[in-house]
Chain A
């Protein structure tokens, strides 16, 4: 009897736990597949701010869900992914994007591959020339 009452209480308690409901678009795709594709592509480049190694597309954090809803809503309202991204960057800084724009702080990041490639070409040329002798 006691066990039955306890399980009934648990059953009733479940909806109370779910009271902090996420906006519907957090886990629902947009009806227009083209818009959903664009929204999805943007979500994969946006950082989840409470779980900083993940994108909002990958995260189950509440805040990531709210950001997904925001992205979908704005894309559905006709904004381009670029506009949505700029809106978020204006609020959270470049950190919110996994696609950092070229700035003084990120310049080494963009230049390093080119420098390394050039270095590799130089080294390769040197060793080929030596072998050819």
Chain B
């Protein structure tokens, strides 16, 4: 007895191609699963503030001999980097040499220390180098939330008018430096 004869109602011809439907559905599910395995979705949360002006803020100083940071510092005509870091953050140690390279290339860098203490920040800068023009303290991640940043370290390229031009999520690796320098050069010219 063939499958066509057992089909009820609709007649054998229509039932025959319907038989392939479950297999096709299975193939489709398999394809979706394989696609997800091959190219896992990017779970990085990017800020929606890129292209918008920095939020207004004034953060008190936390590093010895350095001023705090305010949004006004970023409207003085030259592009700057805003580095969100913390002394307790391990990838921040990994990106320290790259920040020193950028500083040596003449890039002004301001920093926000998240949930940090003056003693810890001083020890961190002494141990891993100090590329910062100023360091502000953000004890309750207020500025971090206002920036749309979801972790440390993150680095924002801000142009001379205080507009965020680029967000770099995670530590800056050696091969990220050229792209950041390019973004800073582009930030020099108006949009």
Contact = CB atoms under 8 A, between A and B. Distances in A.
Q: Is the interface of B mostly helix, strand, loop or mixed?
A: loop
Contacts of A23: 140
Contact of A92 (B48, B139, B151): B48
A45 B49 CA distance: 21
Interface in A113-133: 130
Interface stretch (B12-20, B124-132, B141-149, B178-186): B141-149
Nearest to B86: A20
Q: Is the interface of A mostly helix, strand, loop or mixed?
A: helix
B151 A91 contact: no
B47 interface: yes
Nearest to B47: A91
Interface residues of A, number: 23
Contacts of A36: none
Nearest to B119: A19
A124 B22 CA distance: 20
Interface residues of B, number: 20
B142 to A, nearest CB: 8
Nearest to B145: A70
Interface of A: 19-23, 49-50, 52, 62-63, 66-67, 69-70, 88-93, 95-96, 130
B98 interface: no
22 contacts: A20-B88, A20-B115, A22-B140, A49-B45, A49-B150, A49-B151, A50-B151, A52-B43, A62-B115, A62-B141, A66-B140, A66-B141, A66-B145, A69-B140, A70-B145, A91-B47, A91-B145, A91-B146, A91-B147, A92-B48, A92-B148, A96-B45
A50 B150 contact: yes
